[in-house]
Amino acid sequence: MITPDASQFASWAENPNGPVALVLRQRLLPVEGPNGVIFPPTYKTKRAIPYNIDELADGTRVALVDSVASQANRIEPLFKDPPLEALVPQITISVTTDPVAKEVSIFDVGHRVADALVRSTELRSDVEEAFAALARNDAGPMARLAPTSLVFGVWDSRGQGVKMPRIVNAVIRAWDVEPLTRSAQYVPPIDYAALGVFSEKDVEKAEGDPKNPLAKAGFVHVPSVDQHGGIVVRGDIIREVVISLVGVRRLAGASEKETAQIRRYILGLALAAATADFDPFLRQGCTLVPDPDQPANWQLVNRDGRRETIDLGHDRALVWAREQAEAMCLPPPRNVTFDAELAKKVVEEAKKQKAKKQEE
């Protein structure tokens, strides 16, 4: 097993003929144990079971347990708190026009630095400049403004159209699954018809119709039959994590020195994020933990396809990441305010851009 040191980390970031990726395949188990029922995410679909379940040619059914986007949205907020907090610029957006004033970290924003919320602040010009630099193959401004947008990917779909692929890619799938159904029955605590609150006719009409106002308000018996009830996994639940070293080496700065610095820094963030413990609670009915009987190991994938097992510990990755963050001379924390008028202006500009494209 290889135990990487600082020189190897630097080589991964800079050597054009270096390895392609770091890969982790981690077997997970439900907290209930093997064959425990878990609940995947649901989607708006015409299917009877609203899960993302694909059937392969051999009949095997594979369920998406946590998508790439969801995994990214779970990992990125780790940068709000120690020990990863010190590795990146902290940006907080104050929303004072909301009925309940609140503060939003940039690490909780769905589209990262390209999000409409970020564009509706004084950061807008900085964001546009960072994307314009990316279009010129200069990742420097983005690395100093919002580096996790480089780590987890970003798409300036509402602006210049610049798209940056993810350096860290993670997903959880369950293999050989059987979907289940469940039923329930709501029973009101008293007989409202017998009390004369509602007529027998109205109660009889409402029972069994969940859309009826009496049913919605909880005054009558309401059955819920053949609803999605999770899945049983006969095969494995696998969490796959990929750190694209090729993606790191595609980043560039305004000079050779800055290019090397950016690549090392972004690799440090990727290593620190990917090796951190993940939150086992995905959603209600889906809490997954690593299988202690099958501990996972990181694999270094070389250009010729050879795989080498490496000891990629979080503590070692964190030390490297801290050194690279210090070398970047990151800006201090910023607190900006959401501007409702600027948000309206963003919408108007989007309408004009759409109209222009239709004319073309």
Model confidence band, residue 287 (pLDDT cutoffs 50, 70, 90): very high
**DSSP assignments along 35-103, one per residue:** T-EE-PPP---SSSS-S-EEE-TTS-EEEEEE-HHHHHHHHGGGGGSTTGGGGS--EEEEE-SSSS-EE
pLDDT for the residue numbered 39:
97
What's residue 85's pLDDT? 97
**Is 68:169 a contact under the CB 8 Å cutoff?**
yes
Going by pLDDT thresholds of 50, 70 and 90, the confidence category of residue 27 is: very high
Per-residue pLDDT band for 300 (boundaries 50, 70, 90) equals very high
Chain Cα centroid distance, residue 105: 15
Q: What is the pLDDT of residue 360?
A: 66
Q: What one-character DSSP code corresponds to residue 294? A: S
For residue 86, give both structure tokens: 């010190």
In a 3-state reduction of DSSP, which class is residue 135?
helix
Is the pLDDT confidence value at 48 over 80? no
Neighbouring residues of 104: CB distance < 8 A, sequence distance ≥ 6: 92, 93, 95, 117
Q: What are phi and psi of 139, to 5 degrees?
A: -90, 0
Return the DSSP state at 178: E
Quote the pLDDT of residue 18: 96
User: How many Å apart are CA 334 and CA 90, to the nearest integer?
Assistant: 6
Kindly tell me if the per-residue pLDDT of 10 is higher than 80: yes
Quick check: 89 and 147 in contact, CB under 8 A? yes
Give the pLDDT confidence of 116-134 residue by residue, as tens digits.
Answer: 999 999 999 999 999 999 9
Q: Work out the pLDDT band at 98, boundaries 50, 70, 90.
A: low
pTM for this entry: 0.91
**Of 203-217, 227-241, 316-330, the least confident:** 203-217
| pLDDT (0 to 100) of residue 337 | 94
Is the alpha carbon torsion for 158, 159, 163, 166 positive or negative? negative
Euclidean distance between CA atoms 282 and 261, whole angstroms: 35
Buried b / exposed e over 59-95, threshold 16 CB at 10 Å, is eebbbbbbbbebbbbebbebbeeeebeebbbbbbbeb
Q: What percent of the chain lies above the pLDDT cut of 90?
A: 79
**Mean pLDDT score of the chain, rounded to an integer?**
93
